Every structure is written in structure tokens, then in C-alpha cells.
Amino acid sequence: MSSTYGKIFKIATFGESHGAAIGVVVEGCPAGVTFDLAFIQQELDRRKPGQSRITTQRREADTVQVLSGVFEEKTTGTPISMVIWNEDQRSKDYSHIADQYRPSHADFTYQTKYGVRDYRGGGRSSARETAARVAAGALAKLVLADLGVTVQGYVSQVGKLKLDKEYHELDLSLTDSNAVRCPDPVMAQSMFDYIDAIRKEGDSIGGIVSCVLKGVPVGWGEPVFDKLHAELGKAMLSINAVKGFEYGSGFAGVELLGSEHNDAFYTDEDGRVRTRTNHSGGIQGGISNGEDIFFNVAFKPVATIMQEQESVNREGEKILVQGKGRHDPCVLPRAVPIVEAMAALVLVDFYLRDRTIRHK
């Protein structure tokens, strides 16, 4: 089972939802990066459970402990290991599904592929694994900050409730001012009320997290199989519950003519080559062109719901399954820092690859 990601800036996550701990080992981080532990903890706090009544009520402090790779608040260039201890497991909440296959979960595929599975919260398939990614992604953000590159995600759609503004029309500084992480206060309240109503019905709902990458210089990405947008897509689709990825004009671009879709070049007052429009989403030929990179990530409704559903057990017998325990009715508010983390990991890896090429 592969649990590694990246080519130069590499991460390997470990642990299960109801095991002793989860964590990550980061290799390839340059030496001398200021290791801001408070910032890394802040990012984990954005993802942790129990933030509001529209998120799972599992109580985890998600306090990160650094085991190696840092000395006097600087990275040393050696592997950096971080661990987050699990504190609020309720494994008994899952005993009823030990031999049952929950609809749209990984139970059946894991059991068939490996012949064994940890049914407690989904084990390795649990979204709790993403806390380790957020810790590593926060470190990647620190590297990017020194380069003037920012990563900003936000919730743009919940169910059929959708923002009708582009990212540059929004005040993205308001994203973390509400429980939904939508930068439009009025829409955020509507989304919150909708998710809360869904929660009371014992159901779940999906939506879209949008993300904007600013300050990315020209040249990050590879022109064939490791295109920047392809790697971003892979990173996003590796996140639990993600069903779709689009960047730039995305699927809406198919409705435009080439004369409408093409991004015309011009030279700005500082002598930089720019594009008048940005249907390309900041990436052309698989390589960043210096414009903002923006993309959308679609999340399905959370699979665990409190309503009875038809399924089968390990023997293939027909049964009814009903969720128990503590689960998110909508994953989106806690998914924002996860999307940001994976985007940051992609960017840092390509930054280091580009630096290697230019140094030859």
C-alpha cells in the first residue's frame, strides 16, 4: 500500500483513524527553513474535528509533536517527522459493521484487495489520515511564503447553493471568519443553515472547494506526463471524497469558441509578459505562466449517514446498514486546509525540481 507522495519534497504518512497515532515523515525539505510550529498547529486546528455543530463531534486536540529534522527552529535538511496522537477514539461505534460493507465506503474494496481491513472508522481509508498531510502541507506553505507564493482555498458551493462571484471579486480574508469557510458572509450563513438541516435529517451533502495560487513564477511544471495541472489533479483526487477536479475555464470552457477562449499576450508596464484573460488558469503546456492558478475540487456527500441503507455483509447476505458515532454531515469546511496542503506540496515539489534544472 503506497503512502508516499512527491519526487523531491517527499512525504510518507502513517497511522489509522483508531490507532495510537497518525503522522508524517517529510524528506527533501531544504535546510534553513524557519520552522514555525505555531503556524503548523494553526493549520491543523483549521482541519481538526469538533469545530462547530456542522462538523463531527469527535474531540481531538490534534497537537503535533516534532520528532526529528528541526534544530533551533530551523530545518536541518534531514527527514522531518511529525506525529499527532489519537485521543478520542470510540471503536465500539464501529463494532456493528465489522462484517458489513457500508455503501460508498472502502470496506468492500479493502477487504477484497487485502483480505483484511481495519473497520474502526475505516482504518487507513479514514479521512483522519489527512491531518498528517495538513502538517506536511503547512511546512510546504512555509517554504512557499519565503518565495512570495500564497495558497488560498474557500468553500464556493454546498449542494445547489453556489457563489455567483469569481475569486477576484471576493474578500478571501473572510474565509476563516465563519464555520463554513465561505468568504461571502450572507452565503456562508445560508450554507450553514442548510448543512445543519441536513445534519438533523441524518443525511449528508457535498459541494466544491475552490483554490487560488498566487505568486507562482513562470516555469514550474513539466511539459509531458508531469504537467503542473495533472499533478494538482492527482493530488486533489487523492483526498477522501473527492469526485472531480477542474482548473481554469474547466468544463465551462467547452462552450467558448477558440477566439473567445484564447488568452492574448501583452507586455505590462514592468516589461513582464502577461495574458489579458486567464482561461488557462495560470498554466499553459503544463507549465505555470505567472498568472494566478485557480481550480475547483468537487466533494461527494459524506458516505456515512444516520439513515438505514441496503447493503450486504461479507457472506453476501442482504442487510440494512445505519451509521453510528460522530461524522461530518458535510466535509467541505474541514476540507479547505486539506486542499491547500496538497496544493502547497505540489508547488514546493515543482519549485525544487525547477531549481535543480536551473542549477545544472
Q: Which residues are annotated as a binding site?
A: 47, 53, 124-126, 240-241, 285, 300-304, 326
- DSSP conformational letter for 226: T
Q: 3-state SS string over 102-167?
A: CCCCCHHHHHHHHCCCCCCCCHHHCHHHHHHHHHHHHHHHHHHHCCCCEEEEEEEEECCEECCCCH
Three-class secondary structure of residue 354 per DSSP: helix
Contacts of residue 186, defined as CB under 8 A and 6 or more positions apart, other chains included, come to none
Binding site listing for NADP(+): 47, 53
β-strands 21-27, 80-85: how paired? antiparallel
How many CA atoms lie less than 13 Å away from 128 in the CB half-sphere? 33
Neighbours of 159 (CB within 10 A): 14
Known binding-site residues for FMN equal 124-126, 240-241, 285, 300-304, 326
Q: What angle do CA 332, 334, 336 make, to 5 degrees?
A: 70
